[in-house]
Amino acid sequence: MSQAHGRGRFITLEGGEGTGKSTQAARLVAALAQRGVDAIATREPGGSPRAEEIRAVILSGSAERLAPVAEALLFAAARADHVEKTIRPALERGTWVVCDRFADSTRAYQGALGGLDDDTLGALERIAVGDARPDLTLVLDLPAAVGLARASRRRGTGEVDRFEQESLAFHERLRQAFLHIAHRDPQRCAVVDASLDPDAVTASLMCVVDARLVAPHKARERAS
Ligand code: TYD
């Protein structure tokens, strides 16, 4: 992603179930607005009209018998449309984008847990993401049991999507997968403790966003 003056910044939120990503995405957009930064919240799978249709297919369970590579292709198809229709146009007009899940979710779910190899994942990213890579990825970290308890409270007695039916051990492996991704790419990623109350989590996230993106952005604005 070009860091040229005028281009928006791309922030992704990643983590397991119940880590509060969607709540925090909305809060980050509001906090950025307070700093005079125009930003939108979006999500994956989905984030554009056609990608939302693919989301419905993926989460309905009709994709359940797909091999991991076929499932990853569906996520990648949704991502390609989301990037072209929502993310890239926003960044090009100077709007910042805060996305609830992105390519690291494919790396964690279909890669670390589904067994897809790095070459395949890399190829999918080159096609679906291209140069629209995140400037900053915030990994919301939470013990798996806490996240699952939160997710089931949020659902009440409602439906459990097929990804949430997996076992606690699965979710703990997922947590480790996201931590591993962050560890491998510390320039782009930061891990934030998501077990705190929502205000404290937002404050931690904004500390990272301010230090890594907002302050350099303002400095560039002043210099131009
Ligand atoms: P969602 O309801 O967005 O999950 P959450 O509330 O945890 O954010 O459902 C998305 C599910 O799809 C989630 O379980 C993670 C999974 N997923 C993948 O397996 N691969 C991907 O590339 C993405 C974006 C999501």
* Helices marked H in 100-214: 103-106, 118-128, 144-155, 168-184, 198-209
Instruction: Give yes or no for residue 45 CB within 6 A of ligand 1.
Output: yes
Measure CA 219 to chain center: 27
Instruction: Give yes or no for residue 170 CB within 6 A of ligand 1.
Output: no
Domain range annotation of the chain: 10-223
Q: Which residues are annotated as a binding site for ATP?
A: 15-22
Per-residue pLDDT of the chain (224 residues; tens, 9 = 90+): 434 458 999 999 999 988 999 999 999 999 999 999 999 999 999 999 999 999 999 988 776 778 889 999 999 999 999 999 999 999 999 999 999 999 999 999 999 999 999 999 999 999 999 999 999 999 999 998 888 888 777 766 555 565 666 688 888 999 999 999 999 999 999 999 999 999 999 999 999 999 999 888 888 888 87
Which helix (H) or strand (E) covers residue 70, if one does? Answer: helix 68-82
The pTM assigned to this predicted structure is 0.92
Using an 8 Å Cβ cutoff, are 97 and 10 in contact?
yes
Q: Is 153 exposed, middle or buried (0-12, 13-18, 19+ CB in 10 A)?
A: exposed
> How many H helices and E strands in the chain?
10, 5
Ligand 1 mutation target, pool 105, 129, 173, most atoms within 8 A of CB: 105
Backbone angles phi, psi at 16, to 5 degrees: -75, -165
Q: Which fold would CATH assign to domain 10-223?
A: Rossmann fold (3.40.50)
Single-letter amino acid code for the residue at 111? G
Ligand 1 mutation target, pool 13, 109, 148, most atoms within 8 A of CB: 109
Q: At which residue do the structure tokens 């798996």 appear?
A: 144
Query: Is residue 13 classed as helix, strand or coil in its secondary structure?
Result: strand
Would you state the pLDDT for residue 1? 42
Which tokens in the block code for residue 30? 């509001």
